[in-house]
Structures are given as C-alpha cells and as structure tokens.
Chains A and B, each alone.
Chain A
C-alpha cells in the first residue's frame, strides 16, 4: 500500500510519523512521488509563491487534517500502552485474589478452627479434647485424619498444626 498525498506532504514538512519515513526508504514509487512533491515545494519557495494556485483554506485544511491524524495515532498508541499495563495488573490482581481466597477458605484450616475464632491454635485442640472428654456432640468434619472416628489423634493434629513454625497459623 502506497502513501497518501497527505502523508507525503507531512513527510515533506517533517511532520509525518516515523513509519512514513520508513516506508519511503523501501518504496521506490512513493519515494519518487515524495521527491516530486519536494521539488515542487522547493520551486515554490524559490519563486516566492506556490507553483499551483491553491487557496489558503486548502492549505489550512490539509494542515488541520494532518494534525488530527497525528493526534489520533498518538492517542491510539497511548491507549494501547495503558491497555497492556492494565491487562497485566488485572491478571496479577486476579492471581493474588485467587491465592488469598484459596488459602482463607482452605477446608483443612477451617475445620481445625474448632472454636471458630478465625485461627488455629492450642485452644482449638483443647476444646476438642474437652468435647471428647465430656461426650459432647461432635461434628463429622472434626475427623481430621479421616479415619472414621474423632479421637485423641485428631486433637494431636490440631495441636501440631498450632505449633508448626513453617506454614503454621502464627
């Protein structure tokens, strides 16, 4: 695809995008057109008046068109850059949220929180031990080792979790 007259004119006045210059380097046809336009410009400057009798309004319109095209391109680039940054930030935020939710709602952690205070500590083990001792009603999910019964081994699991230094509750 070749350059439009507007792009060539902008290139002549050094207002074109870098892509236009790159295109001129590789496209002989456009380069010839550009050189012709450039010569006309030089001739016009030498004569002190335009080669073609173009009304001032046309020059004004071309200039405005060029400016708005350049503005649109800059806006599009800015949008694309922020769009990428936003997408990366959104992915990271979603990953973080996912990890936080999975850790917070980890079933093993929640069932060990016998007294329901939001943390697993020795008091949970104590409350379960007391419940076993007093034969209070027990919840099936307190069978932490899934051996089909709730007993001292489940109490020990909670206590060991409470004192775990790596990955423990504290």
Chain B
C-alpha cells in the first residue's frame, strides 16, 4: 500500500514538474490546471458507490478512459472514515488509461447509501474531453456478503460524467 502511494506521488510530482517546465506563462484555471496553448490539463474525478441500504465494507471497480488522450496519475481515498485512506490499485496502471481500484474496512462504522470512496487524478493531454467509464466489480457488507451496487463518477466541476 505504501509502495502504491509513493509511486503515485512520484509520478504526480514528475508530471506536475513537466507541466510547469512546459508552460512559462501564468497558469491557473480552477478546478483543473490548464495550459491554454497545448490543451493539457490536470483534472480529477470523484467516484461514488451507492450501496443503497447495505453497509459498505468492501468495494472494487474498474475505471477506463475510453476516449481522449488522458492518463491516470494518482488515486486518493474518499470522504467516509472507513475509506479515507488511499485504496489498493496497481501502480503499473498509472501509466495507462485503465485501473482497478479496491478497498475494504473491517471496522463497524460503515457507510451506506451514496458515499464518495475515491478521487482519481488525470493528466489530460489534449483538448478532447476524455470519456471515462466505470465498471462495478465487487461489493460486500461487513458480514462478507456480496451484493450489487452502483458506481457513479463525477468530474472535477461537480457534474456527472
């Protein structure tokens, strides 16, 4: 887990460094950082799991950048204390547009309904808006019972993708 976090941080810093070097002029355009000339930008997407009335103890889903030239550069945890820490993911996936994200919590304080479980940072390398899809893979309650849940992604501007 520490290795994953460290790799993500190093890659993010490297990408940010490249971005700063590439653009000498002023750059600030929240919520993402955008280079108007090259069209490159940093964005993030928030990932929510809606477990309905079930207490969410474990989740796993896949995120895929289908359209547009974008790379996943980092993954953070979510809002609820159960999923605040950075989730599990394959650091190798940071080089690509496909990543599987998963986490679990063995404590008793578990969220239900709609909960933000992760934030995924993207480096968008063109002006084409990336099309991102999500595939729910596995969800379980605190008793280890598997169930189906919805996974929803929202862009950095707050709107649903």
Contact = CB atoms under 8 A, between A and B. Distances in A.
Nearest to B140: A123
A127 B104 CA distance: 10
Interface string B90-115: 10110010111111101000000000
Interface of A: 115, 117, 121-123, 125-127, 129-130, 133, 156, 159-160, 162-166, 168, 170
Q: Categorize the interface residue count of chain B.
A: 20 to 34
Given A115-B144, A117-B146, A162-B100, A129 B88 contact: no
Contacts of A129: 104, 106
Contact of B1 (A130, A133, A156): A156
B137 interface: yes
**Which of A133, A163, A165, A170: most chain B CB closer than 10 A?**
A163
Contacts of A127: 144
**Which of A115, A122, A130: most chain B CB closer than 10 A?**
A122
Given A122-B59, A122-B138, 14 more contacts: A121-B102, A121-B138, A123-B146, A125-B102, A159-B104, A160-B90, A163-B102, A164-B100, A165-B93, A165-B99, A168-B100, A170-B62, A170-B100, A170-B137
